[in-house]
Chain A
Amino acid sequence: MLDPQTERQTIQRARRGDREAITLLIRSYQRPLEAFLFRLCGQSDLAEDLSQEAFVRVIRSLDRFDERFRFSTWLFTIGKRLLVNHQQKMKPTPDSEMVEYRAGDARTPATETEEVERTQRVSQLVGVALDSLVSPQREIVLLFHQQGWSVQQIATELSMPEGTIKSHLFRARRRMLEAIERSGVRNAEEVLR
């Protein structure tokens, strides 16, 4: 993530068609956006496609960007809208294989079977926890815990009072705990190691 000052300067350069600036913007936000979309839809390919589409739209429309706001907020809003539009067209089917691949730590060497299994269990656990959440809660949890946005930033983005966001976060954690308890994850110690 870029700091606000660097972000502003990079956007100004990108507006003039500076390739390096455009690449820097994409590199800075590509993974966070993909991760956010992936955790929302559960499809790695779709998350990647939508993320690319969001970047194309955002960078082409940089002239209209209001510098009072954060670039990431704008980008994530467009990414989310693209996902909603896509979901309205077709019902998503979670790609379990990619969930495991993505959620699993990429540093994991494929040859170490135990490590792979542990990663798979963690992935399952993340899936169980996130699946228990309803639409606004999942988004709020991801923006807060995954993207590290502040409550105020999320409240502005979702046009909700800060108290509502806090309440959603609290309830979301309870739901996730309930889901984890119900799932009875085997070999919890391995997951927690």
Chain B
Amino acid sequence: MSWRDDAWSDTQTGRSGFSLRAERLLVRVLLVLRGDVREGAKSATEQRQDRRRAEELADIILTDFPRRAIPFGIAAVAIIVLLCTMPLMRDLFSGSTARSAGVAPVANVVESSLRARSAEMSDGLEALRAVVAPFAADAAPANEPREAVAPCCDAAAPFKRS
């Protein structure tokens, strides 16, 4: 005999003080409660209705399944985009400051290089002028009296005979 049966012993023997009718009615109440969830207590229509409701509810739950993934998907895409664009962003941010600070030295280098070249060229020109100057001095105007042309054997030009 189970505890469930034991618990009823008092009422079954009438020691509870309640009428037999009340006890039988209580049993009826408890049977009705049990019938609430008994599969066989349902009509075919009710069973169909339950099945349909269960399927509808399953659909509601399932349509929400992808929605659960959306925030994770968005977060994943955002992370990937961030990782991919990070080098570009870094260049962009560091480039804007480097452009103002880094281009000027390059220009200075080019300018100073050009200046050095032009200085070298002008030095070269000066040197050439220095070489050419004595000859230019010889090329006097036609109206000025010309020196007598030395014979070939004396030709030690451009230096004058001492």
Identify whether the interface residues of A are mostly helix, strand, loop, or mixed: helix
Report if B75 contacts A (CB, 8 A). Answer: no
Q: How many A-B residue pairs have CB under 8 A?
A: 115
What is the CA–CA distance of A105 and B33 in the complex, to the nearest angstrom? Answer: 11
Kindly identify, within residues 1 to 30 of chain B, every residue whose CB is under 8 Å from any CB belonging to chain A: 3, 7, 11, 16, 18-19, 21-26, 28-30
What is the CA–CA distance of A150 and B60 in the complex, to the nearest angstrom? Answer: 33
Q: A27-B54, A146-B37, A177-B18 are in contact. Are A129 and B61 (CB under 8 A)?
A: no
Kindly identify, within residues 19 to 53 of chain A, every residue whose CB is under 8 Å from any CB belonging to chain B: 19, 22-23, 26-27, 30-32, 35-36, 38-39, 52
Please name the residue on chain B nearest to A123 by beta carbon: B32
Residue total for B at the interface (Cβ-Cβ under 8 A): 39
A122 touches B32 (CB 8 A): yes
Q: A22-B61, A30-B53 are in contact. Are A177 and B22 (CB under 8 A)?
A: yes
B7 touches A170 (CB 8 A): yes
Give min CB distance, B23 to chain A, whole Å: 7
Please name the residue on chain A nearest to B62 by beta carbon: A19
Q: A173-B11, A185-B25 are in contact. Are A32 and B61 (CB under 8 A)?
A: no
B7 touches A169 (CB 8 A): yes
Residues of B within 8 A of A70 (CB): none
A56 touches B24 (CB 8 A): no
A176 touches B29 (CB 8 A): yes
What is the CA–CA distance of A181 and B62 in the complex, to the nearest angstrom? Answer: 50
Q: Name the one of A19, A23, A145, A170 contacting B33, with C-beta atoms under 8 angstroms.
A: A145
Report if B50 contacts A (CB, 8 A). Answer: yes
Binding site for A on B (CB under 8 A): 3, 7, 11, 16, 18-19, 21-26, 28-30, 32-37, 41-43, 46, 50-51, 53-55, 57-62, 64-65, 68
7 cross-chain CB contacts under 8 A = A60-B61, A122-B28, A126-B32, A126-B33, A169-B7, A177-B22, A192-B24
Binding site for B on A (CB under 8 A): 17, 19, 22-23, 26-27, 30-32, 35-36, 38-39, 52, 55-56, 59-60, 102-103, 105-107, 122, 125-126, 129, 141-142, 145-148, 151, 166, 169-170, 173-174, 176-178, 180-181, 185, 188, 191-192
